Structure 1
């Protein structure tokens, strides 16, 4: 990290918070015009954060920064494919979460999966094929799919129906086209009508839940989930403090978290263009964390210990035995089993966590498949 460039960015944040927006814009202009080279991707992290701050300040440097960043842009699907193929924190998270889920879903006659933010259903399709590989497919699977994007919800239903037909599983797909905060008593009564065994999955979705009116929506969600008495709750979440109302704290946390992620990317055995493109995938998240107003922010990540404590406070028991999952290593990222979660660690820090908690006495989280070990070897 270049201490002078970072100090300038931090000063832009401080001047913004002090209401001295003209000073903040001047500092931002100095950073872009005299400190950043614009000659390649070496300064890309600074440009991405400068872009976010320029939008918050409505700076006239926004157009110049965007012109620089456009050379690294590509389609979101291409970016995601690059991440899924090369970035260990993305490559491992879904398969490891599915290994944990399989320990609770596999071998049941009928089981319900309550999915908080199912997206397009890619992870859930992979779960079915994993269970088939393990020869532990349930006879019948009920999926309650909560998802605010109608197109993704439709795609998830179609993909899961196709997979279930191929694998010979009886599937009931129940779409719920809402954000979590919009769920009402009738929805929760419907969820409860399925009884047990039930497993809850929230894959990179629960950090979008936003509190309002003095109510902590995340705590309320976990209390509602606990009332359903699911066998397990499994979450995939980045571990960083982006839920703070303080812009200064969010900026520092985001710089640290994404800086570590960019460090992993820099060490990958791929071309420079691919590395820059992968970093650009996170530009939207950084912009939301740094540039958007508190009442409209969407990316509200929290440290993993906060997620574990929220589940504990709601009456769940964090899983303490991940011994059957194993600890695969993918390049510089290792999987560390801790009380309540599997950490995808870079150095000594967890960047992404697979959190698991049960409604009763914590149980073994399942077993890792030989296919996963081969994938990350």
Structure 2
């Protein structure tokens, strides 16, 4: 999917073979011209995407302090509203989590003392949603649920603790929380094992849009191997389907335009204000900034395509399963939860797989 007008896209794409360090003055002038024209008309959908792409590309050579904020401030909305839009209206986050949460809650409910380990737990909102589902499950067998949250940002873990403390009194079972401020790829197997309670009868690991931040393929493989050695009952993984690990700038540009162009198109279908649509697009433009604007040694949004994750599961001895479940809903704002795949679920928009949702043993 391409939201940029074809002539403009062709001009920009022609420059990518010289990116990031071989642009001449004429190339830079052209890129600056396209960027400036887009910046001045951000209420137009094509212009917003063109701006996001060219802004990122210019980071490699443009050091002048931009005055773009005067154009962007009209789209600023409260952070809490942005969060609500992402969770409630944006279907990729909502549908993806609804799928994985349902699978996890169904399996956790069969145990009396299960452990849910969440890698990249953030502020704990997904875990809280799973707990709410367990509370509402009349057949839930849980006596004690242990949450193990691994997260590199300590401030987020403080909020996690607050959020779980709020919901715990509502549960007919006890809830224990163990947190660790760390990058999962820096943790040895023994360190992770020490986080587990002395006894438990089920271990489930969840990683939601977190593992693509692991910088090297070697470290990703090591993390998968470590999870496998934990002898988990299941490993649930949610990730976008696009190869931004790709080192070739021109190919990564194609992948980026396709993936984020589709996300922008999805945003345009939402029944929200134009200001809110622009705010959501600017949120994702930060990721575009990283994919196309940062140098290889510092960029962090290194997504894998679906096939790359599948290969990693196979290399590390996992078997992918299609865990059957009944979902409360399977469509949201034009995006569907795809259920006809043999080894995973996915979210899809206009036939294109946007996020891949894995359940592995």
TM superposition score normalised by structure 1: 0.87
Change (3 A) 1:65 1:206: same
- Paired residue for 1:3? 6
Q: Greater shift after overlay, 301-310 or 103-112?
A: 301-310
- 1:356 equivalent to 2:359? Answer yes
Change (3 A) 1:25 1:174: same
- Paired residue for 1:251? 253
Q: Distance in 2 between matches of 1:199 and 1:95?
A: 17
8 A contact 1:327–1:334 mirrored in 2: no
Matched residues, number: 354
- 1:341 equivalent to 2:330? Answer no
Q: Distance in 2 between matches of 1:114 and 1:86?
A: 27
The match for 2:183 among 176, 179, 184 is 179
**Displacement after TM superposition at 1:196 (Å):** 4.5
Q: Deviations over 1:53-89 (max 9, x none)?
A: 12222254x6144543343233443222122222211
Change (3 A) 1:145 1:35: closer
8 A contact 2:178–2:195 mirrored in 1: no
Q: Distance in 2 between matches of 1:312 and 1:249?
A: 25
- Paired residue for 1:167? 171
- Paired residue for 1:131? 134
Superposed CA RMSD in Å reads 2.2
Q: Distance in 2 between matches of 1:165 and 1:255?
A: 46
Q: Greater shift after overlay, 232-241 or 246-255?
A: 246-255
Q: Deviations over 1:266-293 (max 9, x none)?
A: 1222222221111111011110111111
- 1:303 equivalent to 2:308? Answer no
Q: Distance in 2 between matches of 1:174 and 1:346?
A: 37
8 A contact 1:318–1:339 mirrored in 2: no
**Displacement after TM superposition at 1:231 (Å):** 0.7
- Paired residue for 2:273? 271
- 1:74 equivalent to 2:77? Answer yes
Q: Distance in 2 between matches of 1:36 and 1:123?
A: 36
- Paired residue for 1:294? 296
8 A contact 2:38–2:51 mirrored in 1: no
- The DSSP-based 3-state class of the residue aligned with 1:83 is helix
Q: Distance in 2 between matches of 1:163 and 1:247?
A: 46
Q: Deviations over 1:28-58 (max 9, x none)?
A: 1231355776262331000111111122222
Q: Distance in 2 between matches of 1:155 and 1:31?
A: 42
8 A contact 2:116–2:147 mirrored in 1: yes
- 1:199 equivalent to 2:204? Answer yes
Task: Report 1:1-377 matches (<5 A).
Answer: 1-17=4-20, 19-33=22-36, 38=41, 40-42=43-45, 43-58=47-62, 60=64, 63-135=66-138, 136=140, 138-191=142-195, 196-211=201-216, 216-322=218-324, 324-325=326-327, 328-337=330-339, 338-358=341-361
**Displacement after TM superposition at 1:328 (Å):** 1.3
Q: Distance in 2 between matches of 1:345 and 1:281?
A: 21
**Displacement after TM superposition at 1:354 (Å):** 1.8
8 A contact 1:240–1:257 mirrored in 2: yes
Q: Deviations over 1:164-214 (max 9, x none)?
A: 222132222111110112213431341566565100000111111112xxx
Q: Distance in 1 between matches of 2:294 and 2:174?
A: 44
**Displacement after TM superposition at 1:22 (Å):** 2.6
Q: Distance in 2 between matches of 1:140 and 1:39?
A: 51
Q: Distance in 2 between matches of 1:97 and 1:352?
A: 12
Q: Distance in 2 between matches of 1:146 and 1:329?
A: 31
TM superposition score normalised by structure 2: 0.91
Name stretches of at least 5 consecutive residues in structure 2 with no aligned partner: none
